């Protein structure tokens, strides 16, 4: 799945680290079901803390967006994060015996701090395109992982719910929309040949760094 034109260019510019992210051992363990529950829960608690900061980052994208249509798209993501994705984490953790106050009290792991604060800093220092380059690996990487695992994963993996969430038509549509948002902003800000823009190298670097931080996040889940 390509999710537009800009994303595959950024992804292919950092192909080795993109592979490390989307084919990480943690991801393989979700597919086969061999990932220990304890590691999955550690990941979910950190992901709860992560999503709170990511909601802030998407809210920053609302304030930095160029058009009302883009503001709406970013605001819809803020809404989805706060009202759908976070409650899903809260429910799964509660079912596993971790009520929400325990999540709120949890300490952010270094990998969580590094990733979320990198994205917020990239957004505050740069423009909307810098921010989207930092946000893209998270949204679109999970889209690729969900699609692949839904084909390849064991039918009875205990992580089927997680896989189905990211393989679902609703999530795949969000990825397609994000690809289109990226293409529109890139065309507006970089012109018809984005790859030869003087900003291109920095944007690839931001995307690459966020992808490395996704690898660090999976590593933290396995540790």
Ligand X SMILES: Cc1ncc(C[n+]2csc(CCO)c2C)c(N)n1
Residues serving a catalytic function are: 138, 214
**Out of 27, 103, 138, 220, the residue judged to bind ligand X by CB under 6 A:** 138
Q: How far apart are CA 139 and CA 27, in angstroms?
A: 15
Residue range at the interface with ligand X (CB under 6 A); choices 77-85, 121-129, 184-192, 198-206? 77-85
**Out of 48, 54, 159, 207, the residue judged to bind ligand X by CB under 6 A:** 54
Q: How far apart are CA 69 and CA 60, in angstroms?
A: 15
Q: How far apart are CA 55 and CA 65, in angstroms?
A: 15
Residues 27 and 162 sit within 8 Å (Cβ to Cβ)? no
State whether residue 159 is helix, strand or coil.
Answer: coil
The residue (of 85 and 144) whose beta carbon lies closer to ligand X is 85
Residue range at the interface with ligand X (CB under 6 A); choices 50-58, 62-70, 90-98, 146-154? 50-58
Closest distance to ligand X from the beta carbon of 13 (Å): 20
Residues 172 and 1 sit within 8 Å (Cβ to Cβ)? yes
The residue (of 129 and 218) whose beta carbon lies closer to ligand X is 218
The residue (of 120 and 200) whose beta carbon lies closer to ligand X is 120
Residue range at the interface with ligand X (CB under 6 A); choices 9-17, 18-26, 73-81, 126-134? 73-81
Determine phi and psi for 167, rounding to 5 degrees.
-90, -10
Q: How far apart are CA 60 and CA 187, in angstroms?
A: 21
In the complex, the residues that contact ligand X under the rule CB under 6 A are 47, 50-51, 54, 77, 80-81, 85, 138-139, 142, 214, 217
């Amino acid at each position: 799945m390509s999710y537009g034109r800009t994303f595959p260019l950024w992804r292919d510019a950092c192909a080795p680290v993109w592979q490390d992210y989307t084919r990480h051992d943690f991801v393989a363990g979700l597919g086969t079901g061999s990932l220990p529950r304890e590691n999955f829960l550690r990941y979910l608690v950190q992901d709860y803390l992560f999503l709170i900061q990511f909601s802030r980052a998407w809210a920053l994208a609302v304030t930095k967006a160029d058009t009302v249509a883009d503001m709406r798209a970013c605001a819809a993501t803020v809404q989805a994060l706060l009202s759908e994705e976070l409650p899903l984490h809260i429910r799964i953790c509660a079912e596993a015996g971790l009520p929400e106050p325990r999540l709120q009290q949890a300490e952010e792991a270094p990998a969580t701090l590094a990733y979320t604060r990198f994205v917020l800093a990239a957004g505050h220092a740069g423009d909307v395109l810098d921010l989207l380059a930092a946000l893209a690996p998270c949204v679109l990487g999970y889209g690729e992982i969900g699609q692949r695992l839904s084909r390849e994963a064991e039918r009875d993996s205990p992580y089927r719910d997680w896989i189905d969430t990211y393989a679902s038509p609703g999530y795949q549509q969000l990825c397609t929309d994000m690809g289109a948002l990226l293409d529109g902003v890139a065309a507006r800000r970089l012109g018809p040949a984005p790859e030869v823009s003087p900003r291109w190298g920095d944007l690839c670097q931001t995307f690459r760094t966020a992808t490395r931080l996704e690898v660090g996040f999976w590593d933290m889940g396995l540790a």
